[in-house]
Amino acid sequence: MADVNAVKFEIRRRRKMEDSPRDLAAAASSRSSVEEEGIEADQENQETSPSKPEAPMLDVQKWSSAVTATVAILFAVILAAIPGYKAWQYSPRQPGTIYDTDFWFLVQSSMMQFIGLLTVIVPLALSGTLRIQKWFWTWLLFGISFSCSIAPIPVYLYFPKEWSVTIAFLGSAAQTFVTLQALFVVQKQKTQ
């Protein structure tokens, strides 16, 4: 039990140090009597038992779900490019027509991509919580995603089909990073 109290005290002390380093003296003097007894008992146990090397503690306070999501999204986008590479190998390298079923599937997916983009960007724009630098990247990625959701339709008709699919993929990737920006906003609001 003494170890648990000592760990809890250390976590509280570190959190206070991160919030305001000036309150370090106040954090040291704010120990409760239970924590004091636990620390004293732990010190006595350390003096009587042979010392064991302590395992390094992971700093889980700095690791967040936003970091995990960023790594997962980057990995998923790179992984999703592999089928695109295979599709380029088997593509006939000729433009499509409006009579192709793939053309209408492309129109459908472009519309859904645009709707998905709007459902992310409208709440972000109305929240007013993004800083200028994040706004720049959000709007840049929004512009890329928007243009890449519209451009594949005429590209399909006048250029080889694989170009339109590649442009649509780039738009989806940009939209994913706009969604990631929304995750950062939610994460920041949650910690405040």
DSSP annotation string for 143-186 = HHHHHHHHTHHHHHHHSBHHHHHHHHHHHHHHHHHHHHHHHHHH
CA dist 24 → 7, 17, 173 (Å): 17, 6, 45
pLDDT computed for residue 107 by the predictor: 96
Among 170, 58, 175, 166, residue whose Cα is nearest residue 115: 175
Between CA 17 and CA 93 the distance in angstroms is 61
Over residues 164-185, the mean pLDDT reads 88
The residue with tokens 């040291």 is 28
C-alpha dihedral sign at 41, 43, 45, 47: negative
CA dist 64 → 12, 57, 111, 177, 189 (Å): 18, 16, 33, 17, 13
Between CA 56 and CA 21 the distance in angstroms is 23
pLDDT computed for residue 190 by the predictor: 67
pLDDT computed for residue 34 by the predictor: 45
pLDDT computed for residue 103 by the predictor: 95
Most confident of 8-17, 44-53, 128-137: 8-17
CB 164 within 8 A of CB 100: no
- Under the banding of pLDDT at 50, 70 and 90, the label for residue 26 is very low
**In sequence order, which ranges of 91-160 are alpha helices (DSSP H)?**
101-127, 132-150, 152-158
pLDDT computed for residue 27 by the predictor: 45
